[in-house]
Structure 1
Amino acid sequence: MTSNIEQGRAESGPSKTPLDRADVRVKHDDSIGGAISAFLERIRSGDLGFLPVIVGLILICIVFQSLSPVFLSANNLVNLLFDCSTVGVIALGIVCILMLGEIDLSVGSVSGLSSALLGVLWVNLNWPVVLAIPAAILAGMAIGAVYAFLFNRFGMPSFVATLAGLLAVLGLQLYLLGSTGSINLPYGSEVVNFGQTMTMPDAVAYVLAAIAGAVIFYADFRTASRRREAGLSARPFAFIVLRAAAITIALELVVFYLNQDRGVPWMFTLFVVLVVVMNYALTRTKWGRSMSAVGGNREAARRAGINVRFIYASAFVTCAGLAATGGILAAARLASASQQAGTGEVNLNAIASAVIGGTSLFGGRGSAYSALLGIIVIQAISSGLTLLDLSSSLRYMITGAVLAIAVIVDSLARRSRVSHGRA
């Protein structure tokens, strides 16, 4: 007796009906209304994506703009983008480690150490800056390798290993800076200018925005083509064109607005490039798929043939390397390496940015864009409170509340995904 699935294939023909639409028992609606219904169904089932953080960011902008008309000015937004870049790069590393269900509490100290190494090697020892920067980043990656060794060889929990590392690395930072406590970087150097004043020429910014739209179109078109070749359903070509066009227009408008002041900071562009590269690695490579698998179920990943130890080691090294890179950018931003670098709220903001942006604390779910969206939320709160001349104590309380809400949303969404069979 022919099954319903076989009947569906026979009626429509193998060349016309995609394999994932062959089951006639399942309703498929390709209309706009159907797409909206499918989106709402994903929301109800706990697959929230970036929706909570986008809604939160919109609300933050509305509130602060109503209280301070300067908040959404081009000048303030350019400053905000400069400030996002330093901690944002650190948060990008946190995304990697959280995807495995682990944590690194020492990213702030590692960033502070890298800035101290930059000052010592470049200023005190007269190393060329092109050698001092890679050396500082490699030192951070070496610290990550130590964490990986302790985790893989002795089973030391990442919380304990990185907490011990936080203290040890902070002590090394203080030792390197000595009694002076700080090292001023050469003011007017390319490194300091990169962190404080360098922005794109207007024409370059417009061209890069157009290129970004073209890349998005190519990626969507390539994905749709590969799905059709595999006999699966894919987005219509018109939808791909409209989506790419909408994103390109939005980017061009943002660039136009920022160009009314100083323009798009090169440092923020570097951060975005790192986010795009990390997103590609997490979604399009074997390493990225292995990261999600290990974070979702370590034992199942091991039985599937994944080198679990290597995945953990690569995550710890990547996280520490990005923390060191963030420290270099912070030193460039402040034009100095000091004992305060990497302390205070750096750890809080980096971890909070990844979680607020949508990366799950339970492992297995996360995106590089979580770091980008999360740090914009954090810096928007900080910038708004600064414009209102409110105390830093209030900023800590508000950031803590936002982080708590993000974790609650993540927990509820996870329960909903489990109950709907989407976990």
Structure 2
Amino acid sequence: MSDQMRGTSNEEVPVTADPGKPPAGTAGAGTADLTLDATVAAAEVPPELIAQSLGEYVRASWARVRAGNSGVLPVILGLVVVAVGFQIANSKFLSALNLVNLFEQSTVYMLLAMAEIFVLLLGEIDLSVGLVMGLGSVVVAELVQPTGANWPWWAAIIATLLACAAVGAIQGTLVARLKMPSFIVTLGGLLILEGVAIIVLGGSLVGIGNGGFVNEVYLYNIFWGTFRPVVGWILLVVLVGIAGTGLWLQDLRKRRRGLETAPRSLVAAKIVLMAVAGAAVVAICNVNRAHSGTIEGVPFILPIVLVVLIASTALLQRTRFGRYVYAIGGNAEAARRAGVRLASVRIWCFVLAGLISGIAGILFASWQVSLTTNIIKASNSYVLLAVAAAVIGGTSLFGGRGKTIHGVLGGLVIGGIYNGLYLLGVSSQWIDVVVAGVLLAAALIDVLSRRGAPGRA
């Protein structure tokens, strides 16, 4: 089996290059009749490594769904239900103005969910990501104040990211080295960070961009700024070109080495899908959204989230560190016996969670424009939305299964629910009830899928 992690089962089942033959060492009654479906379901092998055509890939993917490994299918269906349901209830939901607002508002949920996923993959939890975001927003806002520190905007951003990563390192060390429960460590961290953020804020309102000072304006435009329409199309061509070339070259390298690889039709389909989805987003963003004047173009924050997604996906799916993360989440003792340095990997996951939460904090400060004590206290609730987005997207609460794309998709669902219910005039209390219900449903699906999956109790 390839050295890349292929699921979350505690035992790996060897799979031969020929899916029609039984795995080596498993000869016995009935093994000679292993089919494509049975092989995929039993071994939890990614279907692209088994299928020889696009049709076989679809069939193998459906076999994994029936076996309890549904992947992103539920969240995709959830997005469709949210979009169709709210559009029927309010025709403004799928308007260009509202969709761009939805994309923008969901970015904070997406980033916090991606941060949380690094910890959830270990089978741990970080309850402090919301307040790490809050602390980051206060630090970056205070550092660019012309009457205060008056740092250059880029230096303030770097300092903020380092501070948030340091918080993750401290909490990760307490969990990994001192064996303290992550729930207790991050709960304590949550309370400490809330107090520290309020102390740094000093009880006063801190504004961003209102005075027209250069560093404040740069920070303000991180969330509210947009690219010119033509730049959006150029970015799309460049990003799809880079991603498509990378997929194609990876396929060529595997074929030259005689390794199992996805059908070329599947690789081409992925590239086309990326191009179509990207073109749809750019086209929507380039529509003039202003009631008067002109507001058009792709928001700056969308490429920022995309870069975080690509980098985190590459780290988890294409590096030894990523394989170690999945190994620890699947079976920590087996990973330790295999030579994985558990403490080091765990600490780095908390560091990455803090770093990405810091990025969310910078966007949060830009989004809010002005920060107050009440806003910082309210950021505490974002941890629940982060966990909800991750779980709704398909990440397991029990460790070993999940991808950062799950955080992006789950964040869109959370953002869509909030946005749609707000359009319908539903109060914030009832919106929280609905989101909590969706979270419980996603957690229930996670539990049931574990019970139904091979090798799970």
In the superposition, relative to structure 1, how do residues 70 and 228 fare at CA in structure 2: closer, same or farther (>3 Å)?
same
In the superposition, relative to structure 1, how do residues 342 and 312 fare at CA in structure 2: closer, same or farther (>3 Å)?
farther
1 CA distance for matches of 2:53 and 2:355? 46
Instruction: Find the counterpart in structure 2 of residue 12 from structure 1.
Output: none
CA-CA distance at 1:30 after TM superposition? 4.1
Residue 229 of structure 1 is aligned with which of 226, 234, 256?
256
Between 79-88 and 287-296, report the one with greater CA deviation.
79-88
In the superposition, relative to structure 1, how do residues 222 and 21 fare at CA in structure 2: closer, same or farther (>3 Å)?
farther
In the alignment, does 2:175 pair up with 1:151? yes
1 CA distance for matches of 2:58 and 2:256? 26
In the alignment, does 2:142 pair up with 1:120? yes
Matches within 5 A, 1:285-296: 285-296=319-330
Between 270-279 and 345-354, report the one with greater CA deviation.
345-354
Q: Unpaired runs of 5+ in structure 1? A: 1-17
In the superposition, relative to structure 1, how do residues 31 and 129 fare at CA in structure 2: closer, same or farther (>3 Å)?
closer
CA-CA distance at 1:183 after TM superposition? 0.9
Matches within 5 A, 1:8-407: 19-21=17-19, 23=21, 25=32, 26-27=34-35, 30=52, 33-123=55-145, 124-180=148-204, 182-187=205-210, 188=212, 189-196=217-224, 198-261=225-288, 262-344=296-378, 345-407=381-443
Residue 448 of structure 2 is aligned with which of 409, 412, 418?
412
CA-CA distance at 1:331 after TM superposition? 0.5
1 CA distance for matches of 2:286 and 2:312? 27
Is the Cα–Cα contact under 8 Å of residues 108 and 343 in structure 1 kept in the other structure? no
Is the Cα–Cα contact under 8 Å of residues 54 and 263 in structure 2 kept in the other structure? no
Equivalent pairs, count: 402
Is the Cα–Cα contact under 8 Å of residues 81 and 265 in structure 1 kept in the other structure? no
Deviations 1:300-350 (A, max 9, x none): 111111111110110111111211221111111111232234433312211
2 CA distance for matches of 1:118 and 1:33? 51
CA-CA distance at 1:208 after TM superposition? 2.4
CA-CA distance at 1:408 after TM superposition? 1.0
Is the Cα–Cα contact under 8 Å of residues 103 and 159 in structure 1 kept in the other structure? yes
CA-CA distance at 1:112 after TM superposition? 1.2
1 CA distance for matches of 2:376 and 2:413? 20
Between 406-415 and 371-380, report the one with greater CA deviation.
406-415
Instruction: Find the counterpart in structure 1 of residue 45 from structure 2.
Output: none
In the superposition, relative to structure 1, how do residues 341 and 92 fare at CA in structure 2: closer, same or farther (>3 Å)?
farther
Between 372-381 and 299-308, report the one with greater CA deviation.
299-308
CA-CA distance at 1:274 after TM superposition? 0.4
Is the Cα–Cα contact under 8 Å of residues 54 and 266 in structure 2 kept in the other structure? no
Is the Cα–Cα contact under 8 Å of residues 100 and 284 in structure 2 kept in the other structure? no
1 CA distance for matches of 2:129 and 2:339? 31
Letter in 2 for 1:205: G
Query: What is the TM-score when the length of structure 2 is the normalising length?
Result: 0.83
Is the Cα–Cα contact under 8 Å of residues 89 and 326 in structure 1 kept in the other structure? yes
SS for the counterpart of 2:359 is helix
Query: Identical aligned pairs, as a percentage?
Result: 35
CA-CA distance at 1:137 after TM superposition? 1.8
Is the Cα–Cα contact under 8 Å of residues 20 and 233 in structure 1 kept in the other structure? no
2 CA distance for matches of 1:35 and 1:127? 53
Query: What is the TM-score when the length of structure 1 is the normalising length?
Result: 0.89
CA-CA distance at 1:413 after TM superposition? 1.4
1 CA distance for matches of 2:440 and 2:198? 33
Is the Cα–Cα contact under 8 Å of residues 113 and 169 in structure 1 kept in the other structure? yes
2 CA distance for matches of 1:384 and 1:113? 29
Between 73-82 and 131-140, report the one with greater CA deviation.
131-140
Deviations 1:25-77 (A, max 9, x none): 44567455544332221111111110000001100111100011000100111
Is the Cα–Cα contact under 8 Å of residues 327 and 342 in structure 1 kept in the other structure? no
1 CA distance for matches of 2:243 and 2:222? 28
Is the Cα–Cα contact under 8 Å of residues 161 and 355 in structure 2 kept in the other structure? yes
1 CA distance for matches of 2:112 and 2:192? 19
Is the Cα–Cα contact under 8 Å of residues 110 and 342 in structure 1 kept in the other structure? no
Between 226-235 and 325-334, report the one with greater CA deviation.
226-235
In the superposition, relative to structure 1, how do residues 342 and 314 fare at CA in structure 2: closer, same or farther (>3 Å)?
farther
SS for the counterpart of 1:270 is helix
1 CA distance for matches of 2:392 and 2:409? 8
